[in-house]
Structure 1
Amino acid sequence: MEQIIRKQTRKVMCGNVEIGGDAPITVQSMTNTFTKNIRSTVNQILALEEVGCEIIRVAVADMEDAEAIKEIKKQIHIPIVADIHFDYRLAIKSIENGIDKLRINPGNIGSIERVQKVVEAAKPREIPIRIGVNVGSIHKDILEKYNGQPTSQGMVESALEHVEILENLDYNNIVISLKGTDIKMTVDAYKIMSQKVNYPLHVGITHSGTLFDGSIRSSIGVGSLLLDGIGDTMRISLTDDPREEVKVAREILKSLGLRNFGINYITCPTCGRTKINIIELSKKIQEGLKDFNKPITVAIMGCAVNGPGEARQSDIGIAGGIGEALLFKKGVIIRKIKEEDIVKTLVEEINQM
């Protein structure tokens, strides 16, 4: 796979996880529990950890949520981000209770004095602040500048206003996000921003939809940015179980070769040449290899016409025939396998690799 060259940004630390620089692109999600409900919040975070979530964000809507962070932090294993709007006191309390990162817009929490108090609490603890601008939070004056309509340039200008507030307070432990529902507007905004700053960028398409349509929209938007080397951390926003967000994010990164998360499958879409039930066969093979974590590429092809040739880049694979399949490695045919032995043989071969 051709290598993607990432834009180099400055590195920040979110707890023990690196964001930016040469660090791997990290996968985030957000809980949908009431943070003050410690048990349900912890249980959801632990479930997210199991599917590979690396940073988790929680909503801090009141002081009870902020107080809960202290206990939640004791029971989880990944960095936790406090999502705060308007009330600087919630940010300070979250910092005091061990938060690893803040999501807050300095321009939305009142006076410079209030922002300074947040910075004074965050600075000695080296807590990064994520400035998150979306189409609904563009400053009114900037909206008017662009005829009252959200634009990619307007999103960037609004974010830079918030950045300037922190920089004027001598604080540059910053991450920026520019999420919108319009894919092109969002992608353009990130591209503009990537030319203006070297702060790490948190990428995503906001309110992208349910599992099916949201995964497609996010894959197009986030995938476009990642292909251009833009993005240091990411969240796929779906109207579904947060675990699905993590699964989709990991699959995007795996598909682009940016992270190694176990097996990458190349599977045949089937056609009239297919003489074997490739759909059921694919399901059985993936089930048999669900616990295999080595970064290899496995091809499951429907016929010998395209199998070994089209899947030449795969490490191992099969190409179906009438009652049998060809086993191949790196495009080279090794031997034939009876249909009833395909799953067993392929799983055994892979486990020996």
Structure 2
Amino acid sequence: MIVRRKTRQITVGDVKVGGDAPISVQSMASTDTRDIEATVAQIAGLERAGCELIRVAVPDMEAALSLRSIRERISIPLIADIHFDSRLAVASMENGAQAIRINPGNLGGESKLARVVDAAKMHGLPIRVGVNSGSIEKDLLGTYGYPTPENPRSLIESALRNIQLLEKQGFHEIKISIKSSDTLTTIHGYRELAARTDYPLHIGVTEAGGLIGGCVKSSVALGILLFEGIGDTFRISLTRPPLEEVRVGYELLRSLQIRQRGPELISCPTCGRTPIDIFSLAEKVEEYVQTMKAPLKVAVMGCAVNGPGEAREADIGVAGGKGVGIIFKKGKLYKKVAEADLLEVFMTELKKMEDQYGREKQ
């Protein structure tokens, strides 16, 4: 049983982070924030997939001013990602950002940080202190060395130093992240940080990589931390469309039995008995179930001989055969279908189950 670490609670828009709030899944838009139409369209797709917090890059004043139009057209909280320029942080908050992500030590000094904190207080917004292995102050690197699994101290001390800068300004609506591209450094760093502060933590592996490498590194690091009760919100950082980050995030939560959203898809790994193109079938079914909300278990099996038995716990499943396939429910044959019509008929059955779930929820 997972026992969550006790943390303070902050509010980002209408989403609670920390305390007893659900662990939230977030992502970052890959569009140019100044392209309002593209950014809104991408965020809309992320909302449908269950993204609960969205961060956008704010590289200049035009991007900061674009936040107002974006905020008016989306439903999830909007976070502005700021580097180096305190003016962009203030302008972002004035134009609709519901939180900001900064590294307080690189904003240009105490007076500039004070202006940012004053704006956050005035608008009632939280600040995420985000420190990465590549942004650690030189004096801390000189004292503690570059962060490693054996010694993540410089990463932790940098975060705590920056937290103290905010606390000195009388500000405590804070969440913290200390990201590394190394899996073990991420795990050990967050463990130690969690033991030294009760602020909510945003966890993640930065620059994790592409689909396979990034999913593995992020799932290992975040899976271990979440299992140990560490982490209040997270992002799966992939060199892929952000929609895939959200999908992986929910699968991670599902695998730890922390949260469930929509159907669970199980599929066989194939073998020489598989007479159909199960890769294509599974991919199309997976794409469709991502749009569903019913908490079903859906199976895609390659063999009509063993499929229903191996996936008897599935609410509904499909299995292929030579020229004909079957649809089964709870391990029992429901319908035989010509192979050419198998996908279409199966999708129709999924739609019926989704509609029934919607009626029952009303």
Q: Please tell me the TM-score bracket, short chain as reference.
A: 0.7 to 0.9
Distance 1:284 1:35 in 2: 31
Q: Supply the distance in 2 between the matched residues of 1:34 and 1:127 (Cα, whole angstroms).
A: 24
Q: Aligned pair in 2 of structure 1 residues 284, 101: CA closer, same or farther (>3 Å)?
A: closer
Match of 2:13 among 12, 15, 22: 15
Q: TM-score, normalised by structure 1?
A: 0.85
CA distance 1:276–1:57, change in 2 (3 Å): closer
* 2:352 corresponds to 1:351: yes
State the TM-score, normalizing by the size of structure 2: 0.83
SS in 2 for 1:171: coil
User: What residue is the counterpart of 1:298 in the other structure?
Assistant: 298
How far is the alpha carbon of 1:179 from its aligned partner? 0.9
Cα separation, partners in 2 of 1:229 and 1:39, compared to 1, 3 Å: same
CA contact (8 A) 1:236 1:249 kept: yes
- Aligned residue for 2:177, secondary structure, equals strand
Match of 1:99, SS state, is: coil
Whether contact under 8 Å (1:142, 1:157) holds in the other structure is yes
Code of the aligned partner of 1:267: S
SS for the counterpart of 2:27 is: strand
Match of 2:48 in 1: 50
Contact preservation (8 Å) 1:298, 1:315: yes
Structure 2 counterpart of 1:207, which letter?
E
Query: Which residue is equivalent to 1:40?
Result: 38
> What secondary structure does 1:230 align onto?
coil
- CA offset at residue 104 of structure 1? 0.8
Asked if 2 retains the 8 angstrom alpha-carbon contact of 1:324 and 1:336, the reply is no
> 1:206, CA displacement in angstroms?
0.7
Note the alpha carbon deviations across 1:6-56, whole angstroms, 9 max, x for none.
223222111111112222222222223333333333333333333332222
CA shift digits 1:38-79 (9 cap, x unpaired):
333333333333333222212222223222222222222221
Structure 1 pair 304/135, CA: closer, same or farther in 2 (3 Å)?
A: same
Q: Output the CA distance in 1 between the equivalents of 2:285 and 2:66.
A: 43
Partner residue, 2:197: 197
Q: Is the 8 A contact 1:297 1:315 kept in 2?
A: yes
2:89 aligned with 1:91, yes or no? Answer: yes
Aligned to 1:27, the other structure's residue is in SS state strand
Alpha-carbon distance between aligned partners in 2 of 1:180 and 1:220, rounded to the nearest angstrom: 13
Is 1:261 equivalent to 2:253 in the alignment?
no
Listed as ranges, the matches of 1:75-90 within 5 Å are: 75-90=73-88
8 A contact 1:29–1:246 mirrored in 2: yes
1:101 equivalenced with 2:102 (yes/no): no
Tell me how far 1:176 sits from its aligned partner.
0.6
Distance 1:324 1:64 in 2: 55
| Aligned position for 2:270 | 270
| 1:207 and 2:200 matched | no
Identity over aligned pairs, percent: 47
Contact 2:298/2:317 (8 A) holds in 1: yes
Which residue is equivalent to 2:157?
A: 157
Write the deviation string for residues 81-123 of structure 1: whole angstroms up to 9, x where unpaired. 1111222222122222221001112222233232222222211
Shift in Å, 1:312: 5.9
Paired residues of 2:175 and 2:202 also in contact (CA < 8 A): yes
Looking at structure 2, the residues matched to 345 and 242 of structure 1 have their Cα atoms a distance apart, in angstroms, of: 28
Structure 2, unaligned runs of 5 or more = 357-362
For the residues of structure 2 that align with 1:328 and 1:255, how far apart are their CA atoms?
23
Give the secondary-structure state (helix, strand or coil) at the position aligned to 1:260. Answer: coil
What is the CA deviation profile of residues 218-276 of structure 1, one whole-angstrom value per residue up to 9, with x for unaligned ones? 22222222222222111122223222222322332233333322110122212356577
Report deviation, 1:300: 3.6
Count residues with an aligned counterpart: 348
Residue 250 (structure 1) aligns with: 250
Check whether the contact 1:261–1:295 (CA below 8 A) recurs between aligned residues.
yes
Residue 123 in 1 paired to residue 124 in 2? no
SS at match of 2:198: coil
The aligned amino acid for 2:349 is E
- The farther-off stretch of 23-32 and 182-191 is 23-32
Return the letter of the residue paired with 1:101. Answer: A
In structure 2, the residue matched to 1:135 is: 133
Q: CA deviation at 1:184?
A: 0.6
Which SS does the other structure have where 1:136 is aligned?
Answer: helix
CA RMSD of aligned residues (A): 3.0
Give the distance between the partners of 1:99 and 1:335, measured in 2 at CA. 52
- Spell out the pairing of 1:278-289 with structure 2 (5 A cutoff): 278-279=278-279, 281-283=281-283, 285-286=285-286, 289=289
Q: Which moved more, 1:334-343 or 1:191-200?
A: 334-343
Q: 2:360 is matched with which residue?
A: none
Q: What's the secondary structure of 1:123's corresponding residue?
A: helix
Q: CA deviation at 1:161?
A: 0.7
Instruction: Report what 2:359 is aligned to.
Output: none
Gaps of 5+ in 1: none
